[in-house]
Amino acid sequence: MHEFCKAADKTEAEAWVMWGCVEKYGEWDEGIDNWAKVFLEMNFLNGMQDFEEDETDCFMIDSGIASAGTIPGLERELGLPHIENPDVKAVSQINFDRGGASIKKKAENEAEFIATTEAKL
């Protein structure tokens, strides 16, 4: 989250307010891991537990060895070549940059909405 905020030229405290976390979790506290409050509450696997191989719209993927690179089973399913030693930092930076651009765009859209709404009042 720190890297996403950095890419958006926002502080984590600013993003905390912008994403509405302050209403649900309270004010940003510099002394703790605020994002843990959000992410530990979420269940990213909701609805995906305990399915069978023959279940409709679900399939099993051989994950290979997690530390050896990208996931061979997923690559096969997507028709992609296996990459043994991916540049994880470079891929992460692309993700951070895209996330930062998205945060910036959201802030611009909100500012434009507020400005046009106030102009109408």
Give domain limits for the chain.
Answer: 2-120
50: tokens are 């305990």
6: tokens are 């950095």
Q: Please tell me the predicted confidence (pLDDT) of residue 71.
A: 63
Q: Please tell me the predicted confidence (pLDDT) of residue 82.
A: 74
Cβ neighbours of 52 (radius 10 Å): 7
Q: Please tell me the predicted confidence (pLDDT) of residue 28.
A: 94
User: Which whole number is the average pLDDT over 91-108?
Assistant: 87
25: tokens are 């979790």
Tell me how long the chain is.
Answer: 121
In the numeric block, the tokens 């061979």 are attached to 72
Q: Quick check: 11 pLDDT over 90?
A: yes
For the whole model, what pTM was predicted?
0.54
In the numeric block, the tokens 């930062």 are attached to 100
Give phi and psi for 101, each to the nearest 5.
-65, -40
Residue pair 21/34 in contact by the 8 Å Cβ criterion: yes
Residue pair 4/100 in contact by the 8 Å Cβ criterion: yes
Q: Quick check: 68 pLDDT over 60?
A: no
d(CA 109, CA 115): 10
Q: Quick check: 64 pLDDT over 60?
A: no
35: tokens are 């994002």
Task: Convert the pLDDT of each residue in 24-61 to its tens digit.
Answer: 999 999 988 899 888 887 665 555 556 666 766 665 65
Q: Quick check: 6 pLDDT over 70?
A: yes
